Amino acid sequence: MPSHSYAEILERIHSALEASRTVFARFTPGAIDTEYKAGHDPVTEADRALDAVLRKELLRDGEGWLSEESVDDPIRLQHSRVWVVDPLDGTREFVKGIPEFCASIGFVENGRPVAGGIYNPATNEAFLGSIESGVTYNGKPSQPSPRTSLDGALVLASRSEVKRGEWKPFENAAFKIRPMGSVAYKLALVSAGLADVTFTLTPKNEWDVAAGAALVLSAGGFVSTLEKTPLRCNNKNPLLSGLLASGPYLREELLAAIGQHIEPAILKSAQRG
């Protein structure tokens, strides 16, 4: 794909993130009516408003669309270029007024996450990048962590996973664990070198991780499924068993540190499916 095409994609993502800024300004985190979907996942008027504006800004003829807040249209499987979007990742935090939520936009080509943008309105942080351009953080070029050891590394953990006790096996690890909402935001922070690692051993959907994974990969970082394969998106079933992401030099140590927990996590994910 010619680089100028990625430039046009990035322009669209930037425009969509700016549009999301306007939508977010209409709502007050921590003071918004909430409904609940099946599975007790919260959804708000903001989720739906963001979905509409992102679709308008991003989607063009010949492209597919996969969003948490849109009815899935299997026609996307026939397209090589697909938008994988979570209009508001971290809705639980948004509802509670915790500043860990974002609009998350991933662009996938032939199954590969190749460009992404993430905007957290509470912290006014914007992450944008493609595999050809690298990543910018608030408009300035950024790099992933150069750390070569997990000793003392900052690992971002799912706030809900920590609450459920799923991170207890790592309490005595050599790395520092910081609970945080929004997997997309955590991945964005890793892409910009503001954290060293994030991983989840519980199932996530493609829309949760596509944008953040695209950013980590674009920055030169490490991303892997629990099956130790590259992340592929636009699958018929968008559910993934989990995901690992880090700076480029932590791959082997990270896999070693959590290796014994990966197979049980994959098995548990298969049972849920």
Domain-embedded: residue 149: no
Rg of the chain over Cα atoms, rounded to whole angstroms, equals 17
Q: Final residue of a domain: which of 142, 168, 185?
A: 142
Does residue 100 lie within any of the structural domains? yes
Same domain, 124 and 21: yes
Among 39-48, 130-139, 158-167, 177-186, where is mean pLDDT lowest?
39-48
Chain CA centroid to CA 134, Å? 17
- Output the domain CATH number for residue 243: 3.40.190.80
Residues 6+ apart with CB under 8 A from 263: none
- Do residue 13 and residue 77 come from a single domain? yes
Tell which of 142, 175, 209 closes a domain: 142
Q: Do strands 112-120 and 102-109 pair parallel, antiparallel, or not at all (unpaired)?
A: antiparallel
Tell me what pLDDT residue 272 has.
67
pLDDT of residue 2: 38
- 148 within some domain: no
Dist CA 225 CA 43 (whole Å): 27
pLDDT tens-digit series, residues 227-258: 999 999 999 999 999 999 999 999 999 999 99
Backbone angles phi and psi of 97, in degrees to 5 = 80, 20
> Cα(126)–Cα(267) distance, rounded to whole angstroms?
36
Query: Do 234 and 108 contact (CB within 8 A), yes or no?
Result: yes
Q: Regarding predicted confidence, which is higher, 272 or 86?
A: 86
Number of domains within the chain = 2
Strand order in the sheet with 176-180: 176-180, 154-158, 197-200, 243-246, 222-225
Residue 248 lies in a domain: yes
Same domain (yes/no): 24, 137? yes
Residue 172 counted as domain residue: yes
Q: Are 197 and 150 a contacting pair, CB within 8 Å? A: yes
Residue 177 and residue 133 share a domain: no
Are both 97 and 223 inside the same structural domain?
no
118 and 174 belong to one structural domain:
no
In this structure, the answer to whether residues 173 and 252 fall within a common structural domain is yes
For 68-119, what is each residue's pLDDT tens digit? 999 999 999 999 999 999 999 999 999 999 999 999 999 999 999 999 999 9
Map residue 70 onto helix, strand or coil.
Answer: coil
Regarding whether 173 and 262 lie in a shared domain, the answer is yes
Q: Read off the CATH number of the domain in which 57 is found.
A: 3.30.540.10
- Answer yes or no: do 82 and 160 share one domain: no
Last residue of a domain, one of 142, 164, 199: 142
| Co-location of 221 and 159 in the same domain | yes
Give the domain range for residue 243: 154-272
Q: Are 192 and 145 within 8 A, CB to CB?
A: no
Per-residue DSSP letter, 178: E
Mark whether 9 and 109 lie in a shared domain.
Answer: yes
Q: Are 58 and 210 in contact (CB under 8 A)?
A: no
Instruction: For residues 33-54, give the mean pLDDT.
Output: 83
- Mark 128-147 as b/e (b = at least 16 C-beta within 10 Å): bbbbbbbbbbeeeebbbbeb
> In which residue are the tokens 């599975």 written?
39
Q: Residues 6 or more apart from 236 whose CB is under 8 A from it?
A: 74, 77
Do 94 and 212 belong to one domain? no
CA distance 180 to 159: 5
Q: What are the tokens at 258?
A: 């959590």
Query: Alpha-carbon torsion 192, 228, 13, 54, what sign?
Result: negative
Q: What are phi and psi of 126, to 5 degrees?
A: -125, 130
177-196 pLDDT, tens digit each:
999 999 999 999 999 999 99
What's the rounded Cα separation, in Å, for the pair 256 and 243?
A: 15
In a domain, 147, yes or no: no
Average pLDDT along the chain: 94
Decide if 68 is inside a domain.
yes
